[in-house]
């Protein structure tokens, strides 16, 4: 079976979601302190936000390859895409935004549409970002290991219910736990290039995309929002591209492109 058909809720980039339980209690995410997540990028198509990304170098943003497949292989032209840094409220012009055209889109050469393995791409901005108090690249996970149940943060501009489609105007984040035993939840669908994060009880998760957005643990970019079954369900954590496996590839692309 194609996971894009079975697991496709997260593919479409409506961003971070909050779970609405049967008692209408909203759990999970909160609005972040403005400009506190300095590496967060928004990807625009025709000036509308559709996905997330992460600044990893003054002129490079990392996102998910599935974003390219849906929006650029099939539906629209790269020239209509923009990247925004220094954004907090997507409904207001706040004066800190840096807006970029995209010079180059590099998908991972082994991206697999059928199982979403190697779900990562790099975007080269038309000029280097100005690094300041609201814009700064994330740190890549070059050393150490990620411990089981490490507390991580995923961020994006999100819908406020699992079934909603209205974006939060303000950047939101939710804390999730890293699960080392990702295979336990998804069996054969998981590859070594994927990691899981969520809550054992459900209720905390990325949802309906923010596909391509950051999962940061201990100050390092460990994951890229990729796919999952439903949103914030117990025993179905979110699945993220394992950034640790791509640090050398990211370095190579930046140095040679």
Q: Where in the chain is the domain with CATH 2.40.10.10?
A: 9-33+139-244, 40-137+246-256
Tokens of 226: 């990729």
Going by C-alpha positions, the residue among 74, 53, 72 that lies closest to residue 124 is 53
**How far apart are alpha carbons 70 and 79 in whole angstroms?**
15
Q: For residue 128, what are its two tokens? A: 């280097």
Give me the helices (H) in 31-171, please. 65-68
Mean pLDDT for all residues in the chain: 81
122-152 confidence digits (pLDDT tens): 999 999 999 999 999 999 999 999 999 899 9
Looking at 1.10.10.10, 2.60.40.10, 2.60.120.200, 2.40.10.10, the CATH number of the domain 40-137+246-256 comes to 2.40.10.10
**Tokens coding 236:** 């179905």
pTM of the predicted protein model: 0.86
Tens digits of residue pLDDT in 69-99: 665 554 445 677 899 999 999 999 999 999 9
DSSP 187: G
Q: How far is CA 214 from CA 22, 96, 138, 151, in A?
A: 29, 20, 9, 14
CATH of domain 9-33+139-244: 2.40.10.10
């Amino acid at each position: 079976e194609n996971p894009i058909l079975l697991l496709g809720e997260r593919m479409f980039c409506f961003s971070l979601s909050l779970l609405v339980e049967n008692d209408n209690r909203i759990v999970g995410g909160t609005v972040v302190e403005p400009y506190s997540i300095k590496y967060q990028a928004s990807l625009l198509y025709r000036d509308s936000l559709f996905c997330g990304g992460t600044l990893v170098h003054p002129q490079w943003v990392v996102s998910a390859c599935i974003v390219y497949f849906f929006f650029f292989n099939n539906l629209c032209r790269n020239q209509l895409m923009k990247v925004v840094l220094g954004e907090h409220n997507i409904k207001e012009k706040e004066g800190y935004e840096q807006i970029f055209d995209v010079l180059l889109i590099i998908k991972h050469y082994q991206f697999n549409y059928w199982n979403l393995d190697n779900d990562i791409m790099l975007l080269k901005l038309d000029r280097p970002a100005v690094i300041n108090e609201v814009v700064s690249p994330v740190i890549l996970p070059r050393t150490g290991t990620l411990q089981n149940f490490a507390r991580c943060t995923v961020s994006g501009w999100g819908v406020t219910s699992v079934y909603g489609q209205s974006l939060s105007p303000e950047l939101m984040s939710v804390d999730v736990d890293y699960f080392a035993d990702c295979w336990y939840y998804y069996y054969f669908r998981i590859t070594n290039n994927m990691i899981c994060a969520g809550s054992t009880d459900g209720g905390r998760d990325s949802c309906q995309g923010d596909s391509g957005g950051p999962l940061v643990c201990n100050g390092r970019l460990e994951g890229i929002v990729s796919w999952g079954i439903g949103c914030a369900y117990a025993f179905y954590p979110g699945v993220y591209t394992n950034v640790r496996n791509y640090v050398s590839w990211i370095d190579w692309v930046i140095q040679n492109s």
